[in-house]
Amino acid sequence: MLKPKNIVVSDELRGVCPDFAGAVVFAEFTNSVYSEGLWKEIGQRLDAYRKTQTVDSIKQIPSIEATRAVYRRCGKDPSRYRPSGEALVRRVLKGKDLYQIDTAVDLINLASIAYGYSIGGFDYDKIEGDTITLGIGKAGEPYEGIGKGMINIEGLPVYRDSIGGIGTPTSDNERTKMDLHTTHLMAVINGYDGKAETVMQTAELIKELLIKYADSDGGYIHTF
């Protein structure tokens, strides 16, 4: 069993989101390039979104609405630096295909689409230290987003390990990203809407998908 990381929500983040509810899934698994069964589930979920939502209506989904509100309180424009939970659904509703990366990333994207939360998916073995702190990005703080190059995280909620930033709701960091060699997962669900029960349902879905598609026992969940 993986040793759990200690995740701390800083006072500065609590100041802009006192009701924050987080959950993290720690799990061992086997990654793969593609899972046909998983993509069938993804397709079903996307079809349902296309029938019931629009680019404008998704802003009223509580998990997305709350994340956008926290961005504004932190000083960031959520329409310029879109949270990933919103960006994934917007992409589909605008008629574009969802990115296919690998099974680990794809199943986290499915959970994000299902509940609207921005979820950080990290290679546990690339994280430095035993404590991760959720704070707010500072001016000039170095951060390389996955596939985005260096990005300005000032005013973004950010998880930091002992070296620096590893994840924001807009983009995780190249340094701790998962790949086909990743065997230990840390998936963090960001409940800026304070709905602890729904955050836990999202974590349980990730466990279920790991069992079905990634040769895993699903690992275990911690809340914070």
**Which band of pLDDT confidence, cut at 50, 70 and 90, is reported for residue 1?**
confident
* 112 phi and psi angles, rounded to 5 deg: -65, -45
**Which band of pLDDT confidence, cut at 50, 70 and 90, is reported for residue 191?**
very high
Q: State residue 214's pLDDT score.
A: 98
Mean pLDDT of the chain: 97
Percent pLDDT > 70 in the chain is 100
Q: State residue 81's pLDDT score.
A: 96
pLDDT at 62 over 90: yes
Task: Report pLDDT digits (tens) over 17-39.
Answer: 999 999 999 999 999 999 999 99
Sign of the torsion formed by the C-alpha atoms of 134, 90, 197 and 194: positive
Between the two ends of the chain, the Cα-to-Cα distance in Å is 19
Residue 19's contacts (CB-CB under 8 Å, 6 or more residues apart) are 193, 194
Q: How far apart are CA 122 and CA 105, in angstroms?
A: 9
Sign of the torsion formed by the C-alpha atoms of 146, 148, 152 and 156: negative
Q: How far apart are CA 202 and CA 88, in angstroms?
A: 16
Task: Report pLDDT digits (tens) over 154-181.
Answer: 999 999 999 999 999 999 999 999 999 9
| Residue 8 parent element (H or E) | strand 6-9
Sign of the torsion formed by the C-alpha atoms of 117, 123, 125 and 128: negative
- What is the Cβ-side half-sphere exposure of residue 158, based on CA atoms within 13 angstroms? 25
Q: State residue 223's pLDDT score.
A: 98
Percent pLDDT > 90 in the chain is 100
Task: Report pLDDT digits (tens) over 73-123.
Answer: 999 999 999 999 999 999 999 999 999 999 999 999 999 999 999 999 999
What structural domains does the chain harbor? 6-223 (3.50.40.10)
Residue 222's contacts (CB-CB under 8 Å, 6 or more residues apart) are 4, 7, 23, 24, 26
Q: What is the mean pLDDT of residues 35-52?
A: 96
pLDDT at 194 over 90: yes
Model's pTM, two decimal places?
0.97
If we measure between CA atoms, which residue out of 187, 167, 185, 183 comes closest to residue 175? Answer: 167
